[in-house]
Amino acid sequence: MIVACATTVDVAKPLEVKPQSLEENIILYVPGGGFIVSDAPSLKWVYLKTSQELRQRVFVPCYRVAPTHLFPHAPHDVYTAYLHLLHVGFKAKNITVMGISASGN
């Protein structure tokens, strides 16, 4: 998982993903790639810019891809990421889901 915060994006060492306040908003940003590549690391600049512009942290799941993992693994991994955000304390109303390409599903 990648978490972008307005000043840093570090794939090797993600930031803490617990809410910093009871009403913190967070973006669950699903990378594109047609579910055959997960381009999460290559788009770090997009996550950073999104975080800066919207003044919210960005949580990016790296999902399993085809052909090694067939449907519905990728959407299931994204759903699991959403459940993780709920589990660590984010409220459903404070999670915005964004995506590009196939992740628009």
DSSP string, 37-59: ---TGGGHHHHHHHHHHHTSEEE
Q: CB-based contacts of 99: which residues, under 8 Å, 6+ apart?
A: 29, 30, 31, 32, 105
Confidence bin at 40 (pLDDT 50/70/90): low
What's the mean pLDDT in 36-58?
79
Distances, alpha carbon 52 to alpha carbons 8, 37, 44, 76, in Å: 10, 26, 12, 28
pTM of the model: 0.80
The pLDDT score that the predictor gives to residue 90 is: 94
58-103: per-residue pLDDT in tens? 888 877 877 888 888 888 888 888 888 998 899 999 999 988 776 6
Confidence bin at 47 (pLDDT 50/70/90): confident
